[in-house]
Amino acid sequence: MDFRTEFKPLTVQPQEIEGLSFNMIDSEFGEHAFTEQQYKIVQRVVHASADFELGHSMLFHDDAIKAGINAIRNGEQVYADVQMILSGVSKGRIEKHGGSVNVYISDQDVMEEAKRLNTTRAIISVRKAIKQFDGGIFAIGNAPTALLELIRLIKEGEAKPSLVIGLPVGFVSAPESKEELAKLDVPFITNIGRKGGSTITVAALNAISLLAEKD
């Protein structure tokens, strides 16, 4: 290969680049057992990560997509564990139905309560969220402790989320938290293993909101 050749950037529109990317994903993804709607979410997860292994590791509760679409259309609130999700999500598609995306991790009362109880702000922010709204979508991409706390509250009957998007990334407790989520009979979107993160959670949430627009 001649590396002296002058680089020529693509001169196509963003929509064309996205279309080309999705075509490449489709051609390389291989066989799978996802439904058509599930694959729409997987496709955007791979698009956000360029990671086919992550895409194949995705898990869906049978009612997850329907529950997420209904939650958005009904104007239910969205809880996000970190600010990065708020920054990345397409809020307009949620707000047009009366919902909003809420992040409590840096709230003064959350920080004070976490210090008082000697626990994490992620745990306290989940507790605050379930007091702020009934149901809703919980989008967790960073803190396994937030997901584990939500799971505990669900098991104890204190939290009844419409959908849990649980895709925290990490080595400590992240795989285990997702395994525990997959055992629950609540609508969930998660994956197997250490991979995940805020950008992946944003991709899944945005895919759900797009399906709410189209279907």
175-213: per-residue pLDDT in tens? 999 999 999 999 999 999 999 999 999 999 999 999 999
- Amino acid at position 23, single letter: N
Marked catalytic residue, from 32, 47, 56, 97: 47
Domains with residue ranges and CATH for the chain: 60-214 (3.40.50.10230)
What phi and psi, each to the nearest 5 degrees, are found at residue 189? -130, 125
Nearest alpha carbon to residue 176 among 190, 159, 155, 163: 190
**For 5-77, where are the E strands, in sequence order?**
58-60
Q: What region does 78 belong to: left with phi over 0, alpha with psi -120 to 50, or beta?
A: beta
124-133, 147-156, 206-215: the lowest-pLDDT one? 206-215
CA distance 162 to 157: 13
The answer to whether residue 56 is catalytic is: no
Share the mean pLDDT of the chain: 94
Distance between start and end Cα atoms, the chain: 47
- CA 101/CA 21 separation, integer angstroms: 28
**pLDDT tens digits, one per residue of 49-104:** 999 999 999 999 999 999 999 999 999 999 999 999 999 999 999 999 999 999 99
User: Across the chain, where does the E strand assignment appear?
Assistant: 58-60, 78-80, 101-103, 137-140, 163-166, 188-191
pLDDT band of residue 214 (cuts 50, 70, 90) is: confident
How many C-beta neighbours within 10 Å does residue 53 have? 12
Over residues 32-41, mean pLDDT: 97
Output the six-digit token pair for 179: 């395994």
What pLDDT sits at residue 8?
60
pTM, two decimal places: 0.92
